[in-house]
Amino acid sequence: MRQDYGFALLGGMALALFAYYTAGFDVGMGRRRMQLFMAMAAVYLLAAELATTGYPWLLLGGIVWAMTDICTLTPKPKPEPEEREEKET
């Protein structure tokens, strides 16, 4: 029984959290530091698993996706605050 699935499991979880924090910017609740940390963790863990896996294209896809965000290193734009209409009573 193989027990070397740990890096793949943790890498997949880090990649899922990276996607979660990336999606947070669409609703104005993004956290850039956590997004970058999860991207770096996913790249490291998936690259460690790459040598022993039977499905390298899936891991390479996750690594490339996370690396594209790491390489930009520009802050995501903050959404403009919604203007509240003041109602006269």
Contact 49, 7 (CB under 8 A): yes
Q: What's the whole-number mean pLDDT along residues 24-31? A: 82
Domain range for 53 is 6-72
Residue 22 lies in a domain: yes
What is the total count of domains within the chain?
1
Residue among 70, 78, 85 nearest 39 (CA): 70
Residue among 43, 37, 34 nearest 12 (CA): 43
CA distances from 40 to 24, 43, 51, 77, 88 (A): 18, 5, 18, 21, 51
pLDDT of residue 45: 92
Residue 48 lies in a domain: yes
Residue 86 lies in a domain: no
Model confidence pLDDT, tens digit, residues 40-81? 999 999 998 888 888 889 889 999 999 988 777 666 566 677
Phi, then psi, of 75 in degrees rounded to 5: -65, 145
Which residue would you say has higher pLDDT here, 86 or 72?
72
Residue 14 lies in a domain: yes
Residue 10 lies in a domain: yes
